[in-house]
Structures are given as structure tokens and as C-alpha cells.
Amino acid sequence: MDKTFKGRSLSQSFDWKLVIMYLLLVFIGWMNIYASIHSSDPSSILDWNFRCGKQFVWILTAFGLASLILFVLPSRLWETGSIIMYMGVLVLLVAVIFLGTETKGSHSWFEFGPVKFQPAEVSKITTSLVLAFIMSRSNYKISNIKDFLITLAIIGLPFLVILAESETGSALVYVGFVFMLYREGLSGWFIVLIGMTILLFILTLTTSTYTAVAVLLSAILLFNAANARRSMHWLLIFIGIILGVALFPWLWNSILETMVPGASVIKDVDPMVADAIRYSARAPWMLRIRPLYILLLVAFGFMPYLLRKSYIEKNTFIGLSVLAFLAGLFLSYSTEFIFNDVLQDHQRSRIEVLLGMKEDLAGVGYNVHQSMIAIGSGGFFGKGFLNGTQTTYGFVPEQSTDFIFCTVGEEWGFVGCFVVILLYALLISRIIRDAESCREHFTRIYGYCVAGCFFMHLFINVGMTVGLMPVIGIPLPLMSYGGSSLWSFTVLLFIFIALHHEEKKYF
């Protein structure tokens, strides 16, 4: 065993690319934490009194943890100890409800002097390990209802406890495990259906019906392209249509602005001024037309043709797509109706707060608005390192933790956002590729769990800062300030690197 290890160079046995991407993200995160607080004048980036200095310590300790996992701890431990660790963390999760300190309305933190620790962070790791352990047993079959229920229970237990801690964000991350389940044999349509339902619900409430319908349409078109015989051909056409649909409201507003000068501000101005704008417009009736109506009109216009095509070609997929579109439309409209007309005020505000549509302290959507202003003001190239006004002057709340992406957006612009998101995407896809290359089911399943967690965190966090997702306080992996979060993602990732390395040792 030792011989084999020595016989191969380190660079061949570890996935160094993963490690490099990890280091890059941690470093970018650290720089941006510094930028986000530099207006309070830390003496240097290492100043222990400030978050940038503290983060440096968390980073060093994280490196220590990573080394421990890579070089000291036997990788067998993760498989054999998984159930005990899972149980232990579950106990902690319950205990924290009674023993933890209260932070922002939820009991989810243990505090030991300067160190705060959130069991929910660790729970991701242990749950992933147990899932990998159970599902990699030779007699496990996901199609077996008993096995499936056990799997659901493993995910569901910590999920529910964390929900009870009112850490909605951390709980939502568990949805990321469905990607692993899908990989291990669960029908894809099951996921798509659930995913679309949730997405439509949230999009309708947080953005607009137009966005919801446009996303629904895009999804259906993409599935159809994938299902069609000449996939690439259709994919190109559909991407064109999707871009058109996405750009249409913007285009419409430009047309509207030329026909009705002032149309873009009409919602925000004094009613008298609004009347004056309407009065002076060349075509005031255009104000009543909404982009959504035009989109629906076109969509309904195509429907008879599609249904006929489906019937003649005996292509049920097209028919089902039309049905899915109608169902989605119905869902979106009924969501809006139920939410606005059926629910009572207090019920509505509870959902609004849950979805982050209403911040009970600082006004409706304050966080998201500020965060979007910060990111939006960055423009294409950004304002430059340490030159941000929104993030450095502290308009964005939680700027070094959950909203760290705002600093990236403001100071580095679209270019910076692109690089950071691309890094994450590469990291995740690299994990998936590595996982696929493993012969050990345990490693593969665990790898998918890791990828799922990273993806959920990335999508929810960035989606939240740009207003696509409700404000759910979860950190951006590796970049957000905080030891607890950095350590758990380091451990999560490096267990996988160690397992993957272990595999390389043998083959």
C-alpha cells in the first residue's frame, strides 16, 4: 500500500485541479471580504479585529483540516463511521434548539467563546456520507420501495429538524440530493415536475407572472429539443425563441417609451404626473398592453398547430408539453390568485417573510433591492477593487457573509461575476466527472451529494442576490465570511478528494 503511494507522484494521485479551484475561490472570497469592510479601516488585510483578518485564520485552519483529511485520517473512516457521525449530528441538531444561542430569530448556533458553530452545516456532510453508505450496499435498489423510503427518511430527518430551527435556507439545500437520486436511477420527470412546480410558485410570487411563464416555456422548449430527432437543429431555434422571450419586455419598454414618453416611470410617480403622462401620450392605450398578454397570445396561437402535429405524428411528447404548459400557466395564475385574493393578510405576510419577499425589519425587499443596486451599479467591468460605494458604505446588509456576491458584482462587474460563477460551475462539473470515473459506488454517490450541495448553495445564494430567489440566508460556499461555513465546505470537498485519491491508489 505504501509502496503504491510512493510509486505515483502526488500530482497524479490527487485531483489537483479541484484543489486549485478550491484555493482560488477561497482567495477570491477573502479579498472580497476585505473589500466589503475596508471602509471601516482595518490596518491590513490580516487585522485580527476585522473580519478579513479572522477569515485568514479560518482559512489557515481550514487548510489544516484539509491536510488532516488528505494525509492523516484513513479514508475508510468515512464509510465505517458514517452512521455514528450521522446520529451524533442529529442529536446536536435537536440539542441546539434548546441549548443554542438565538441569532436572527433562529436557534441554530452553538457558541463557544469567539467560535460559533452551526450543526446544520456539518449535517450536510454526515447525511451525504450515510446516503453514500446505505445506497452503495450491493442489495440496494432505488426502485425498491423500502429502500427508497429509507433514503427519503435519511434525508428527511435532518431536513425537518433544521426546518424546525427555522433555518429554511439550510433545509432547502437538502433538495440538492435529488440530483444524486436521479443519477442513481430515479426517474428524471419526477424531479422536473417537482422542480418546475416549486420554481413556478416562487417565480410567480417573487418576480412576475411573465418571468414564470417565460421560464416555463423555456424549460418545455428545451426538453422538446432534447427529445426531438434533430436535437441540435431545434435547440438552436428554441434558444433563439427563448432569447426573444427574455428580451421582449425590454424591447417592449423601449417601444412603449417612444410612444408614451415617461411610461417606464409611470408606476413610481405622483398620480397627477402619471395622469399627465397618460394624457400627453401619443398612444395611451399601449400602456394597458402588457408583454405577458402578447406572449400568451402568441403561445395560444401556436397551440392548435402543435396539437395537430402531435396527433398526426403520434408524438405524445408534444401533446404532453402543451398540457404541461397549460398546467403551469394554471399553477402560476392560481398561485397569484390564491396569494392575493384568498389568503388573509397575516397568512400572506407569513409566506412573504418565508420567501424573503418581506423583511420584517427594514421594509419590503430591502435586502434584495440594495443588493441588486450594488450588483447593477457594477456595470460590465465593475468599479474596481475597493472602489465600490454600495458595498463598502454598507448599504448591503450581511455584506461579507450571505451577500458577498454583491461585492464581486459591484467591484468586478459582469466580468467578475462571470469568472466566479464559471469557477463554481467548473468545480461542480469536475466533481461530477471525478465521481463518474470512480468504481466505488460509495465515492460516486458521495461525490454527487457534494456536487448537489455546492450547486444548491451557489444557485440559491447568487439567485438571492440578483432577485431570482427569495432571500434565504445561506452562504456562498468557500467565499462567504465565517469559519463554520468554510470548514464544513472544506471538509465536504476534501473528503471527496481523499476518497477519489484512495481510488486512484488502487487503479
Partner 1 sequence: MEIQKSSKLLIGLFVAVGILLTKIFFIQVFDNGYKEDATNNSMVYDVIYPTRGTIYDRNGKIIVSNKVAYDILVTPREVQPFDTVMLAQILNVSEDFIRDKMKEYARNRSRIGYQSMTMIKQIPSESYMRFSEVQYKFPGFKGLARSIRDYPFNAGGNLLGYVSEVDASFLKSHPEYRSGDYAGKTGIEAAMEQELKGEKGYHIYLRNSKNQIESAYENGAYDKEAVPGNDVYTTIDAVLQQYGQELMKNKVGSLVAIEPSTGEILSLVSSPGIDVEMLADISKHYNDIIKDPYKPMFNRAVQASYPPGSVFKLVNGLIGLEEGVLKPEYAYPCNHGYPYGNRKLGCHGHRSPLILEDAVMMSCNGYFCYVLKNILENRKYDSIQDSFTKWREYVMSFGFGHKLGSDFPAELGGNIPTSNYYDRIYGKNGWKFTTIISLSIGQGEIGVTPLQIANLSATVANNGYYYIPHIIKESENVKIDDRFKERNYTMVDTTQFQKVRGGMWKAVNAPAGAGGTAHVAAVEGLDICGKTGTAQNPRGADNSVFICFAPKDNPKIAVAAYVENAGFGATWAAPIASLMIEKYLNGEVKRADLEKRVMDGNLMSRVKKD
Minimum distance between the CB of residue 20 and partner 1, rounded to whole angstroms?
Answer: 20
Q: Interface residues for partner 1 in 185-224 (CB under 8 A)?
A: 188, 215, 222
When asked if residue 374 is in the footprint of partner 1 (CB under 8 A), the reply is yes
Shortest Å distance, C-beta 151 to partner 1: 17
Q: Considering beta carbons, is residue 41 or 102 the nearer one to partner 1?
A: 41
| Cβ partners under 8 Å of residue 145, min gap 6 | none
Tell me the window of 44-52, 135-143, 320-328, 418-426 that interacts with partner 1 (CB under 8 A): 418-426
The least CB distance from residue 1 to partner 1, in Å, is: 30
**Cβ nearer to partner 1, comparing 371 with 484:** 371
455 in contact with partner 1 (CB under 8 A): yes
| 107 strand-pairing partners | 102
Q: Does residue 393 bind partner 1 (CB under 8 A)?
A: yes
Task: Report the run of H or E that residue 382 belongs to, with start and end.
Answer: none
Residue placing its CB nearer to partner 1 in the complex, 42 or 463? 463
| Dihedral sign of CA atoms 66, 72, 75, 81 in order | negative
Q: Rounded to whole angstroms, what are the CA distances from 40 to 45, 386, 408?
A: 12, 12, 18
CA distance 60 to 99: 29
User: Is residue 318 a contact residue for partner 1 (CB under 8 A)?
Assistant: no
Binding of residue 422 to partner 1 (CB under 8 A)? yes
Give the list of residues 6+ apart from residue 174 with CB closer than 8 angstroms, or none: 127, 155, 158, 159, 162
Q: How far is the CB of 436 from partner 1 (least distance, A)?
A: 5
Q: Is residue 463 involved in binding partner 1 (CB under 8 A)?
A: yes
Query: Are the C-beta atoms of residues 377 and 383 closer than 8 Å to each other?
Result: yes
DSSP string, 370-430: HHHHHHHTTTTT-S-TT--STTTTT-STTTTTTTHHHHHHHHHHHHHHHHHHHHHHHHHHH
Fill in the DSSP letter of residue 476. Answer: P
Rg (CA), the chain: 25
Q: Are 155 and 127 in contact (CB under 8 A)?
A: yes
**Using the rule CB under 8 A, is 372 a contact of partner 1?**
yes
Name the segment binding partner 1 (CB under 8 A); options: 41-49, 270-278, 313-321, 337-345: 270-278
Residue 49 binding partner 1, by CB under 8 A: no
Shortest distance (Å) from residue 84 CB to partner 1: 31
For 104, how many CA atoms within 13 A lie in the half-sphere containing its CB? 11
- Three-state secondary structure call for residue 111: strand
Is residue 135 within 8 A of residue 184, CB to CB? The reply is yes
CB closer to partner 1, 154 vs 468: 468
Single residue of 283, 363, 384, 387 touching partner 1 by CB under 8 A: 363
Name residues contacting partner 1, limited to 272-301 (CB under 8 A). Answer: 272-273, 276, 280
**244 touches partner 1 (CB under 8 A):** no
Interacting stretch for partner 1, rule CB under 8 A, among 87-95, 282-290, 407-415, 488-496?
A: 407-415
Among 12, 44, 103, 429, binds partner 1 (CB under 8 A): 429
* DSSP H/E element including 196: helix 188-206
Number of H helices, E strands in the chain: 21, 5
Among 417, 476, 493, 499, binds partner 1 (CB under 8 A): 417
Question: Is 13 within 8 Å of 501 (Cβ atoms)?
Answer: yes
| Element of type H or E holding 483 | helix 483-506
- Provide the binding-site residues for partner 1, judged by CB under 8 A: 39, 179, 182-183, 188, 215, 222, 246, 250, 268, 270, 272-273, 276, 280, 363-365, 369-370, 372-380, 389-390, 393-395, 397, 409, 413-414, 417-418, 421-422, 424-425, 428-429, 432, 436, 455, 459, 462-463, 466-468
